[in-house]
Structure 1
């Protein structure tokens, strides 16, 4: 049994934790939401890199065997530095533009992500490796993360803002949309309401957790362990709100796990 850290700027990484609890329920988890500073996508590259390193080091100091950076923006801006500084496996997330290019029937793919992700060297280097016959419509989802953070993923305000962001993607005729921020899988219902069931939605939660499993298997062989591990939720803003949102947004049976929520103290 391992202790796994999952770090995100806010509640978006709960989509990764949800999948991890589905595939690997026997492990213990610390989920760290830096909601006091969300969204990261509107902050400077230097700030994101420094803050992400500090928080991942905090998780490593708590004894985590591996850390998932469940934030596309933090992955793009900070994962190289974090891997250089920490000696445990660090698993990142990135928009699933490669599988989207392979699955699109008309070779027109929308990418809904934060401004920081879309401008990052990591994202654009990945984009440059893909076939030139696939057209990518890049769209920053400005304002969506704060709405999701405030529990309004299914609200009318979110639906109206989302419709504006999806308009260029829809006008281009995209048949596939990449959910390029871990917050955005919680908008699936709203996207389906706006665009219908035929649009293909791509997120990488499953692939990220499979990579985590490979890293853990290489780290230590599986051994006898409880069926369900513990989950500690840490928030830099409001631990009770984080717990409430985890219960609302996640499909995993949290009642099967020992769950505790705490406020994140000052970290340096």
Structure 2
């Protein structure tokens, strides 16, 4: 992260390269914006790491991106959102947009009353995920499958 960023880009952060799909969607919808993508590939996958580690990495990365002029941060990683979004929000003044598993839209769209979720172990065991299920899918059957090794 030694290189200077373009003046005031929107930073997109993921543990790996999966967030590139988020970046592409943002570029398509916001063509006037400059973006910077940070993949924390040195420490992927996040899904099997302790929550405290993910929280510390997330805050460290967000602070570094803020110092380099990012005007907002998109956390393009469900695991980083589950483990670190609140800590990142507390540590920086950047506006934060954080991805979450699509429990709410899945609950609205299911015809069978069953929702399938594949995610990292850390995401599925997080309080944030449990809260999403309770708030939006409590009346549905949720089949949650952990995917060890998923970034």
With structure 1 as the length reference, what TM-score do the two structures score?
0.52
Q: Look up the match of 2:102.
A: 96
The list of structure 1 runs, each at least 4 consecutive aligned residues, that deviate by more than 4 angstroms after superposition, is: none
- RMSD (Å) for aligned C-alpha atoms: 1.3
* SS of 2:116 mapped into structure 1: strand
* 1:149-196 superposed Cα distances (whole Å, 9 cap, x missing partner): xxxxxxxxxxxxxxxxxxxxxxxxxxxxxxxxxxxxxxxxxxxxxxxx
Q: Look up the match of 2:132.
A: 126
Consecutive unaligned residues of structure 2, counting only runs of 5 or more, are 1-6
Q: Look up the match of 1:59.
A: 65
Q: What is the rounded CA distance, in whole Å, between the counterparts of 1:130 and 1:89 in structure 2?
A: 25
Consecutive unaligned residues of structure 1, counting only runs of 5 or more, are 146-268
* 1:39-97 superposed Cα distances (whole Å, 9 cap, x missing partner): 00010000000011101111111100100011111111111111111112011010010
- Structure 1 contact 69–90 (Cα < 8 Å) conserved: yes
Q: What is the rounded CA distance, in whole Å, between the counterparts of 2:145 and 2:67 in structure 1?
A: 37
- Structure 1 contact 117–123 (Cα < 8 Å) conserved: yes
Give the Å deviation of 1:2: 4.9
Match among 124, 127, 138 for residue 144 of structure 2: 138
Q: What is the rounded CA distance, in whole Å, between the counterparts of 2:120 and 2:150 in structure 1?
A: 9
The structure in which a higher percent of residues are helix is 1
Match among 41, 47, 59 for residue 41 of structure 1: 47
- Structure 1 contact 2–27 (Cα < 8 Å) conserved: no
With structure 2 as the length reference, what TM-score do the two structures score?
0.91
Verify: 1:24 aligned to 2:30, yes or no.
yes
